[in-house]
Chain A
Amino acid sequence: MAAYPRWEVVAGRNELVRAEVTRNPSREDQGAMREDELSRIDEEARRRGMSREELLKRAAVAGLVLTGSGGLAQVARAGVAAAAAAPKRGGTFRVGVAGGSSSDIIDGQDIVTNPDQARLMAGFETLVTFDKNFKLAFDGLAEEVSPNKAGNVWTIRVRPGIEFHNGKTLSADDVIFSLRRLVNPKLKLFGGSALSSVNPNALKKMDSRTVRMTLKNPDGTILDALGQYVAGIVPVGYSPNAIGKANPNVGTGPYKLKSFTPGQQSVHDRNPNYWRHGQPYFDQVVIIDFPDDTARVNALLGGQVDAISNIPPAQVAVVNGHSGTKVLESPTAQWTPICMRVDTAPFNDVRVRQAMRLIADREQMVQQGLAGHGHVGNDLYAPFDEAYDHALPQRKQDIAQAKSLLKAAGQDNLTVDLQSTNGALGMNEGAQVFAQQAKAAGVTINVKILDSGAFYGSQYLKWPMSTDFWGTRNYLSQVAAGSLPTSPYNETHWPDTADNKFLTLYKEALRTVDRKKRFAIEHEMMQLEYDHGGYIVWGFSNFLDGYSSKVQGLIQGWKGVMQLNNFGNGYRTFWFG
């Protein structure tokens, strides 16, 4: 039996780099391929209108190797990049992440801070994923997630042969348990916030790998929700409170947890039975907390870590200028808005809200608040969503108009407090720059910087004016998380009674399976928020990450939800060159 090509999985789903190819796989070799790999290849071939053999031949000619998980969206382009180094095994990857404290957790379905995200990615995976353009991809644990025509019954089938770190095989029971845990109201997990349509009692096991999910209502956004990194799949009985020898903190991810000291670091060992053959590359990943920005950057410069997240904008030139380190700048859809409560004075008067939005000189806020590392916002979130309405005119500063609106509302010399905290880059900075700009319109804004304990304390979500931080999401998921009366984090208490149409539209959008029709509804919703909403979305900050030159596999411009290409998709798309 001829040795068939090693199916090396390399950087990302759509970007292929030449690893190794021996020859065209013959029929016998095809027979030796895993069944699921073949079905992926078939799907891709079908999409391109060619036969399986033809596709394989073409790939081999281009000097490429097909990934076990399928998907060849940019075959040609990847061929150019193929000249790059082949992934090498080995080494301990040390990454410094921003923040962290003794409050750190590791939970496959929950996060609070950046280090929690970094640690989750090492060990846990989701049913579906997002690619580097923030498009949904069936590149996760599920080989199929498909709806019925009405959009309320979904079938989930996981790939065969995937194991948890303790050797147990992933099955439908685990999927059911995971979904139930995500939506458990007692746990209030971050991963469950977008899954409100899931009915925990309507999850039926069809066979060892298949689950049928009957939703409470038709919901076209369920795929988005299942793709959020925080919707990790965990084994039956998973409970971080009971984590110990008998109940280790296991997932299906590329690395398994070896040790964890909250507030300091965690160590993760390579999962030798990881289902994506060939990955991951590092032997070990060490994730180190760095609440202090200076310390973090210096650790990178000093070679004490191989990569860091969140370089303060001031240090970008330093990291770039230092030999041996580079900066990875990625656009994001993460936003640090200024939130105004639409149900309380003075912002319950829509004219006041509109005036505030006109006070914002968004360019200046990005220049001074983010040192230019970001792009301007238009009071709407989810710019990566295909549904985003680019047609709405970009709002600009108009002090004269703002003043006249305030006068009409009887709020000439408005004085108001703005609470903020150092939760993410842009929160405090945006607040302070905005307060400065407001002076020109006769508005006095007293910025109150609180420590995070106080900010997220009893008054959180109750202040008339405050800042907050949101990650990258698609529109309807974000609406569920922050713009509905039932949302967990609705700072603006939107919608006010005048805009109740918003709720009706939302329900309709969920029910609409046809994308074009759904986009039209979403545009209507966006129009309402654009005209009357309580957010000032002034900009989106770029991720600024740093890495040592010996780290390979990083992709510039990855539209991800987290730093460092979503932490290397679980530290599996990086290697040491």
Chain B
Amino acid sequence: MSAFAARLERATRVVPRPRGVWGFILRRILLGLLTLFFVSIVVFAATQALPGDAARAFLGRNATPQSLAALREQLHLNEPVLSQYFHWLGGFLRGDLGKSLTGSQEPVTSLIGPRIKNSAFLMLIAAAISVPLSIALGSVAARRRDRVFDHATSVVLLVLAALPEFVTAIVLVVLLGTSVFHVLPPVSLIPPNGSPWNYPKELVLPVLALVLAVTPYIARIMRASMIEVLESDYVEMARLKGMREQTVLWRHALPNGIAPAIQVIALSLAYLAGGIVVVEFVFAYPGIGSAFVGAVSNRDLPTVQALGILIAAAYVVLNVAADVATILVSPRLRTSLR
């Protein structure tokens, strides 16, 4: 049973709770919401409650007493911290993410809207490639355990897992974009209203960088899990019954092998959400990662807050999805909850 579920059990021991699988799912979702709430507090505290006058830091060159007062009013900086938090949270929940503090004062939602689409697409493609790839790699490595393929992939995956994403990205740029081969564009120029799927060439390197960042983790867990499954009684039984090896693998081993790996898959996808920050920066890809770095450089606090929460929310949601999927997929865990 996942560590979370175990803790949940203990924590809610005294409270009468809905039973069974759906009860668990409900509790897990509520826990996720609670986590999100705390995440919002942390982000808010980090940006709004720290010293330094946010209004001055922005207006900078153009600061006049009137504009400072106006901006302070707009940011509710004159109110007590708690009240500021509720203003902010209220706005957030209504879909009003505030106005960017930079020049055009555009609402943050319109600034990041198209970028969310771009980043989501990038992550989806990266996930669509890395998940099957790593499942395949892990399974094959498990099947050919301790043989050449296994050892070779194990080393390669270890190296890839160790490298920071920006290193992988830059090496890709050097190899395929600028210095060794000049086959792919080293930057991903996608115009603001353009759809990323219309620019396949520009997507190759960032997707590749993300795939190389995430695949090692999933593949390794997949391998470990498949090894366990292949050695399990269940599979032994199926073999003894005389089933063809292929059927044993596809029908019995793989689905059971995936179950524990699902949590890691979801976590790796969540990790992608953080990975896009650096990868988008390297390739100048117009997504929320590069927007986030830009906002931090400019000290554009409303945008920093909005994107910080967005990325963290994606992470939390994927975590919740991981736990829920694990429960739903694994019969053993389900029975333990009854």
Contacts and interface: CB of A to CB of B under 8 A. Distances in A.
B62 A188 contact: yes
B106 A262 contact: yes
B100 A102 contact: yes
A292 B53 contact: no
A113 to B, nearest CB: 9
A295 interface: yes
A453 B63 contact: no
Contacts of B186: 294-295, 298
Contact of A451 (B100, B177, B192, B297): B297
B63 A292 contact: no
Interface in B53-70: 53, 56-58, 60-64, 66
Interface string A281-305: 0000000101110110011001010
A155 interface: no
A460 B185 CA distance: 39
A455 B294 CA distance: 15
Given A298-B186, A453-B299, A265 B100 contact: no
A51 interface: no
Given A103-B103, A112-B103, A451-B299, A298 B64 contact: no
Contacts of B58: 453, 457
A262 B294 contact: no
Nearest to B53: A458
Contact of A188 (B64, B178, B300): B64
A262 B299 contact: no
Contacts of A454: 57, 299
Interface string A101-115: 111110000001000
A105 B189 CA distance: 21
Contacts of A188: 62, 64
B111 A295 contact: no
A500 interface: no
B104 A298 contact: no
Interface string B291-316: 00010011110010000000000000
B300 A102 contact: yes
B100 A261 contact: no
Given A101-B102, A453-B57, A453-B58, A265 B299 contact: no
Interface residues of B, number: 33
B284 interface: yes
A372 interface: no
Contact of A458 (B63, B102, B104): B63
A457 B60 CA distance: 3
B98 interface: no
Given A292-B187, A295-B284, A299-B187, A453 B104 contact: no
Nearest to A422: B297
- In the complex, which of the residues A188, A263, A299 has the most CB atoms of chain B within 10 Å of its own CB atom? A263
B104 A104 contact: yes
B275 interface: no
A188 B299 CA distance: 23
Interface residues of A, number: 33
B294 A101 contact: yes
B294 A291 contact: yes
A286 B12 CA distance: 60
A452 interface: yes
Contacts of A291: 284, 294
A265 B191 contact: yes
B189 A453 contact: no
Contacts of A295: 186-187, 189, 284
Interface in A549-565: none
A445 B207 CA distance: 44
A545 to B, nearest CB: 19
Interface in A74-121: 101-105, 112
A302 B185 CA distance: 7
Nearest to A292: B284
B193 interface: yes
Contacts of A186: 66
A264 interface: yes
B167 to A, nearest CB: 17
A451 B102 CA distance: 14
A298 B191 contact: no
A277 B166 CA distance: 52
Contacts of B56: 457-458
A48 to B, nearest CB: 48
B192 A265 contact: yes
B103 A458 contact: no
Contacts of B61: 456, 460, 489
A213 B186 CA distance: 55
A304 B100 CA distance: 30
Interface string A174-186: 0000000000001
Contacts of A460: 60-61
B5 to A, nearest CB: 43
A261 B298 contact: no
A453 B56 CA distance: 10
Nearest to A263: B111
- In the complex, which of the residues A103, A112, A455, A460 has the most CB atoms of chain B within 10 Å of its own CB atom? A103
B257 interface: no
B216 interface: no
10 contacts: A102-B100, A262-B103, A264-B191, A264-B286, A288-B191, A298-B177, A304-B185, A304-B189, A451-B298, A453-B60
Interface of B: 53, 56-58, 60-64, 66, 100, 102-104, 106, 111, 177-178, 185-187, 189, 191-193, 284, 286, 294, 297-300, 303
Q: A-B pairs with the 8 shortest C-beta distances?
A: A103-B103, A264-B192, A103-B102, A456-B60, A295-B187, A458-B56, A453-B299, A261-B192
Given A292-B284, A299-B187, A451-B299, 11 more contacts: A103-B103, A103-B298, A262-B104, A262-B106, A263-B111, A263-B294, A288-B191, A295-B186, A295-B187, A298-B178, A456-B60
